[in-house]
Amino acid sequence: MNVANALTVLRLALVPVFIGLLVAGGPGSRAAAFVAFAVASVTDLLDGELARRRNLITDFGKIADPIADKALTGSALATLSFLGELPWWVTVVILVRELAVTALRFWVIRQGVIAASRGGKFKTLLQVIAISLYILSWHVWLERQLFMGAAVVVTVVTGIDYTVRAVRLHRAVPGHPAGAGPDPVASQGPDSAGLKSASLDSAGLDPAGLDPAGLDSAGPDSAGPDSAGPDSATGDSAPSELGPGEPAVSGDAPRSAGPGAGGGHS
């Protein structure tokens, strides 16, 4: 439990208090219902801001916060429609959108949290103002309808936006952002390391991988002192390096002094 989650729990606790005051009727009860609704709406703004700034985001907050938001808004709209002060179709449209967005949040909760957009925040502000105007006993019929109409339009538009964002987030591969190319190392396949080690062995870096029948296949380095075979102790050299009149070593065939002098089998 932290400050952000405590505010979320407070908002949930204010919902039945708000409904009871709104149903009771009368100017005093309406004013008290407005205060309860206003306090709950302020906690909605504070808990998210505190959670982000103080790094207080928890699994409980991810689940409880949207539930508390929809409980407050839904109870206000449903009660006003029950009292005959708000058309039921307005309540149905807004509640269907809110429930759908909540379901989408839970659907992609393993991939990440869909942050509230500016449109979503503007939608919440319009809903709070419109509901407040319906709660108060003021004769502002035109203002009520204008704000509620704007709230319905923004609610539907932002609902479509949340749906698109949720689908994109769900399709994103964990660890690879959407649109990122394949891993060049992984694309070489599991045998790539074996192929590299085999090429190193064939180059003479690993004596265990040399072919006894083809020592010359290692390339130009095979002419080194270690690749001359059993006659290397006698100081075998090319005929061009022998002194004048010096006989060749017994058992060694004369070698040509051409470009392939150091090589063996070609």
Per-residue model confidence as pLDDT tens digits over 166-189: 888 888 745 444 444 444 444 444
Q: For residue 174, what pLDDT is reported?
A: 55
Provide the residue range defining the domain that includes 52: 3-171
Radius of gyration (C-alpha) of the chain in whole angstroms: 40
> What length is written for the chain?
266
Degrees (nearest 5) of the Cα angle 182, 183, 185?
140
Is residue 107 included in any domain, yes or no? yes
Q: For residue 78, what pLDDT is reported?
A: 96
- Within 10 angstroms of residue 127's Cβ, the number of other Cβ atoms is 25
Q: Specify the CATH number for the domain of residue 98.
A: 1.20.120.1760
pTM value? Answer: 0.61
pLDDT tens per residue across span 197-222? 444 444 444 444 444 444 444 444 44
- Taking the C-alpha atoms of 255, 257, 261 and 265 in order, what is their torsion angle to the nearest 10 degrees? -50
Rounded Cα distance, 69 and 155, in Å = 14
Amino acid in position 51: A
Domain count, the chain: 1
Rounded Cα distance, 168 and 116, in Å = 16
Is residue 20 included in any domain, yes or no? yes
Q: What is the mean pLDDT of the chain?
A: 72
Using CB atoms within 10 A of its CB, is residue 60 exposed (0-12), middle (13-18) or buried (19+)? Answer: middle
Is residue 146 included in any domain, yes or no? yes
- Extract the tokens encoding 160: 């479509």
pLDDT tens per residue across span 45-96? 888 778 778 887 777 877 888 888 889 999 999 999 999 999 999 999 999 9
What secondary structure, in 3-state letters, does the chain show? CCHHHHHHHHHHHHHHHHHHHHHHCCHHHHHHHHHHHHHHHHHHHHHHHHHHHCCCCCHHHHHHHHHHHHHHHHHHHHHHHHCCCCCHHHHHHHHHHHHHHHHHHHHCCCCCCCCCCHHHHHHHHHHHHHHHHHHCCCCCHHHHHHHHHHHHHHHHHHHHHHHHHHHHHHHCECCECCCCCCCCCHHHCCCHHHHHHHHHHHCCCCHHHCCCCCHHHHCHHHHCHHHCHHHHHHCCCCHHHCCCCCCCCCCCCCCCCCCCCCCCCC
Is residue 77 included in any domain, yes or no? yes
Is residue 19 included in any domain, yes or no? yes
Degrees (nearest 5) of the Cα angle 106, 41, 100?
25
The count of C-alpha atoms lying within 13 angstroms of the C-alpha of 156, restricted to the half-sphere facing its C-beta, is 9
Is residue 58 included in any domain, yes or no? yes
Is residue 216 included in any domain, yes or no? no
Is residue 208 included in any domain, yes or no? no
